[in-house]
């Protein structure tokens, strides 16, 4: 039987040309094809999909790791010796790569939607390969050097999981338009079954995902515990230089209930506040004692330490990008800060009736206070006049002797132990990183009358999750931010979440069914209507065999659309080419 095919007058399809042109550099009509995508191009489509998923996880990881950017920068400083914000290039490249790959994914979906053959251009293949390899290298690097930060992903899902589920459900529901179109247009039963099963499996999996979502914020508001106390970690280091008197004063202005510091001991036995092992990052040691700028901080006596400036570095490095928010008076105060002693901190805390927790670093073996470091610190506590009930004592060394000398100190551990073990050693408080205690751990410690403090909590979403979990206090570098969180960001009753979940699933299912019915109805009408109506400028050419030769297509394009050949003369030529 002879089939009739319409030849239509050429009409420019700008949108289609942009889609195929940007994706595969096929700007001309004759370069496009409705043939099945080759296996090679299908492989590249899978690589593109995998790269997109990997970049999505990578982007989400760095978005939620914002809570620990300062920790990451400090880690880089210990390796390179130079302070810089290493998160900026990572975020810039991640955002650029994700945007690029997401754009290619949209173009690929558009190709599928309009029935065009996928043919990714070689330049894009290079770009996809570069994005994939770069992301894999980044993942491996983080896994080897900052592996504990991966815990932020499951923790953050306790805050974002219910909403990410709704977003994913909306995206997969929208994809049903493309899937239904492919199933309706295809004449291969096997292809239809495979696509339908794959899509329905993903959809049903998403419908059931809420069964695995656990969040402490899905609870009865009546059982919400009191707001966790906020302890200023190194004071308020976003507003003033860390571990300086000004930093702790700014933290107290933010209504913190306690102060946390890092303590070292000088050569002459004076405990002072210093986080790093050296003085290079947070003082002007390079100017005052250039030949000793790499020496351990504890190898200086207190007289030498008092000569150092501990504030100018803050204005220069701007570690938290907050210097521009300071007034000129505040900048002058920052520039005049000096190294702070433990006794000064304790007197300030006593004046404001605030708790003090400090991490005491033991001096080097050649240090004159190597054996007396505990007694030197206890002596500083007694001289400050601070009530012992305000001091959280963290060193495990000689804890029994310390309890005899200063029985009023709050015995605190920085190592995770069972409540039974803590009670055995007379420890009533626990100081841990926020990823070291699960919701179940927090409740267990609370039931055992162990007060738990988690550090470092800077983001409102993390503070909200820990609040709902029942933690008693958190240590934060951003007390000015947490001060603005009077209530958890979101709190939902279990029945309310169940209603939201079921409603979303039902709406999604109804939309998917509607789309499949519409696509099938539309395709049935198209197939049963026979020939579409054509305008007078269209002609019918008889073709016994359809040929997809690229050369013939090019000749057709040139003959009909160049305008240089009379239309009537072109008809027999096309009939000849068609046959």
Write down the pLDDT at residue 103: 96
Q: What is the dihedral of CA 345, 347, 350, 356, to 10 degrees?
A: 20
- Which range, of 54-68, 184-198, 297-311, 347-361, averages the lowest pLDDT? 184-198
Among residues 482, 507, 530, 455, the alpha carbon closest in space to that of 68 is found at 455
| pTM: predicted TM-score of the whole model, two decimal places | 0.86
The residue that leads in pLDDT, 552 or 266, is 266
DSSP secondary structure letter of residue 457: -
Taking the C-alpha atoms of residue 450 and residue 448, their distance in angstroms, rounded to an integer, is: 6
- Give dist(CA 134, CA 128) in Å, integer: 10
Scanning 81-219, the segments in alpha helix (DSSP H) are 87-114, 122-145, 152-185, 189-208
Separation CA 325–CA 543 (nearest Å): 76
Q: Which two tokens stand for residue 48?
A: 């593109």
Q: Give me the torsion for CA of 35, 39, 40, 41, rounded to 10°.
A: 50
Q: Over the chain, what is the mean pLDDT? A: 88
Is the pLDDT assigned to residue 555 strictly greater than 90?
no
DSSP assignment letter at 463? H
**Of residues 211, 273, 278, the one with CA closest to residue 244:** 273
Residue-wise pLDDT tens digits, 397-441: 999 999 999 999 999 999 999 999 999 999 999 999 999 999 999
Cβ atoms of residues 313 and 241 within 8 Å: yes
Tell me if 140 sits within 8 A of 47, measured CB to CB: no
pLDDT at residue 530 in the model? 52
Rg (CA), the chain: 34
* In the predicted structure, residue 364 carries a pLDDT above the cut 50: yes
CA angle 246, 274, 279 (to 5 degrees): 105
Mean pLDDT, rounded, for 216-220: 95
Q: How confident is the model at residue 561 (pLDDT cuts 50, 70, 90)?
A: very low
Judged by average pLDDT, the poorest of 26-40, 46-60, 530-544 is: 530-544
Contact between 431 and 475 under an 8 Å Cβ cutoff? The reply is yes
In this structure, of 181-185, 354-358, 421-425, 511-515, the range with the lowest mean pLDDT score is 181-185
Could you count the other beta carbons within 10 Å of the beta carbon of residue 487? 11
Q: In which band, very low, low, confident or very high, does the pLDDT at 523 lie, cut at 50, 70 and 90? A: confident
Rounded mean pLDDT of 354-370?
Answer: 95
520 pLDDT tier (thresholds 50, 70, 90): confident
> Which long-range contacts (C-beta less than 8 Å, at least 24 apart) are formed by 76-84?
77/281, 81/280, 83/281, 83/317, 83/319
Neighbours of 311 (CB within 10 A): 23
Q: Which residues contact 173 (CB under 8 A, 6 or more apart)?
A: 203, 508, 511, 512
Q: Where are the beta strands (DSSP E) in 244-398?
A: 258-265, 271-273, 355-360, 391-393
Residue-wise pLDDT tens digits, 443-493? 999 999 999 999 999 999 999 999 999 999 999 999 999 999 999 999 999
* pLDDT interval class at 547 (50, 70, 90): very low
What was the pLDDT predicted at 305? 97
Question: Domain 229-483 has what CATH class?
Answer: alpha beta
Q: What percent of the chain has pLDDT over 70?
A: 88
For 520, counting Cβ atoms within 10 Å of its Cβ (0-12 exposed, 13-18 middle, 19+ buried), the class is: middle
Lowest pLDDT segment from 184-188, 473-477, 509-513, 538-542: 538-542
Q: Which residues contact 125 (CB under 8 A, 6 or more apart)?
A: 44
pLDDT at 556 over 50: no
Which residues contact residue 123 at a Cβ distance below 8 angstroms, ignoring those fewer than 6 apart? 25
pLDDT tens digits along 87-123: 999 999 999 999 999 999 999 999 888 888 888 999 9
pLDDT (mean) for 71-100: 92
Q: Can you tell me the distance from the alpha carbon of 342 to that of 348, in angstroms, rounded to the nearest whole number?
A: 10
pLDDT for 526 equals 75
Report residue 532 as tokens: 């579409």
Residue extent(s) of CATH 3.20.20.190 domains in the chain: 229-483
Q: Would you state the pLDDT for residue 15?
A: 83
As a whole-number percent, the residues of the chain with pLDDT over 90 amount to 76
């Amino acid at each position: 039987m002879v089939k009739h095919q319409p030849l239509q007058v050429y009409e420019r399809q700008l949108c289609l040309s942009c889609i195929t042109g940007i994706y595969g550099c096929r700007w001309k009509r004759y370069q496009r094809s409705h043939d099945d995508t080759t296996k090679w191009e299908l492989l590249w489509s899978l690589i593109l999909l995998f790269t997109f998923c990997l970049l999505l996880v990578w982007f989400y990881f760095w978005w939620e790791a914002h809570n620990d950017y300062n920790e990451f920068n400090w880690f880089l400083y210990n390796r390179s010796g130079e302070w810089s914000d290493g998160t900026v290039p990572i975020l810039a490249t991640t955002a650029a790569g994700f945007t690029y790959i997401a754009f290619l994914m949209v173009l690929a979906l558009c190709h599928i939607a309009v029935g065009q053959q996928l043919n990714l251009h070689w330049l894009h293949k290079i770009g996809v390969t570069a994005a994939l390899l770069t992301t894999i290298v980044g993942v491996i690097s983080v896994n080897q050097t900052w592996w504990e930060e991966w815990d932020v992903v499951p923790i953050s899902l306790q805050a974002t999981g219910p909403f990410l589920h709704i977003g994913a459900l909306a995206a997969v529901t929208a994809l049903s338009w493309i899937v239904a179109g492919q199933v309706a247009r295809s004449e291969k039963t096997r292809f239809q079954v495979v696509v339908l099963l794959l899509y329905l499996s993903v959809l049903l999996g998403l419908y059931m995902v809420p069964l695995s979502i656990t969040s402490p914020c899905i609870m009865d508001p009546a059982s919400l515990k009191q707001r966790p106390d906020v302890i200023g970690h190194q004071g308020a280091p976003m507003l003033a230089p860390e571990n300086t008197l000004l930093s702790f004063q700014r933290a107290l202005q933010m209504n913190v209930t306690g102060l946390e510091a890092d303590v070292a001991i000088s050569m002459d036995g004076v405990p002072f506040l210093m986080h790093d092992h050296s003085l290079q990052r947070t003082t002007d040691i390079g100017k005052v004692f250039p030949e000793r700028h790499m020496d351990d901080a504890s190898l200086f006596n207190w007289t030498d330490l008092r000569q150092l400036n501990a504030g100018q570095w803050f204005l220069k490095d701007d570690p938290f990008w907050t210097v521009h928010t300071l007034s000129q008076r505040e900048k002058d105060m920052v520039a005049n800060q000096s190294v702070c002693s433990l006794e000064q901190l304790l007197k300030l805390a006593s004046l404001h009736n605030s708790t003090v927790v400090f991490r005491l670093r033991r001096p080097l073996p050649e240090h004159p206070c190597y054996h007396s470091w505990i007694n030197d610190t206890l002596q500083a506590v007694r001289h400050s006049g601070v009530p012992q009930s305000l001091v959280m004592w963290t060193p495990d060394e000689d804890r029994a002797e310390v309890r005899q000398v200063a029985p009023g100190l709050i015995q605190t551990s920085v190592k995770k132990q069972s409540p039974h073990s803590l009670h055995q050693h007379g420890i009533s408080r626990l100081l841990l990183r926020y990823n070291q205690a699960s919701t179940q751990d927090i409740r267990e410690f609370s039931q055992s009358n162990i007060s738990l403090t988690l550090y470092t909590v800077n983001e409102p979403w993390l503070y909200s999750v820990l609040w709902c979990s029942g933690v008693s206090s958190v240590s934060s570098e951003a007390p000015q931010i947490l001060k603005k969180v009077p209530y958890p960001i979101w709190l939902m009753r279990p029945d309310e979440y169940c209603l939201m979940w079921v409603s979303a699933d039902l709406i999604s299912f109804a939309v998917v069914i509607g789309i499949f019915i519409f696509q099938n109805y539309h395709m049935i009408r198209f197939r049963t209507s026979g020939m579409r109506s054509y305008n007078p400028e269209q002609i019918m050419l008889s073709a016994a065999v359809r040929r997809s030769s690229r050369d013939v297509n090019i000749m057709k394009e040139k003959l009909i659309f160049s305008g240089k050949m009379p239309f009537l003369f072109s008809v027999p030529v096309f009939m000849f080419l068609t046959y």
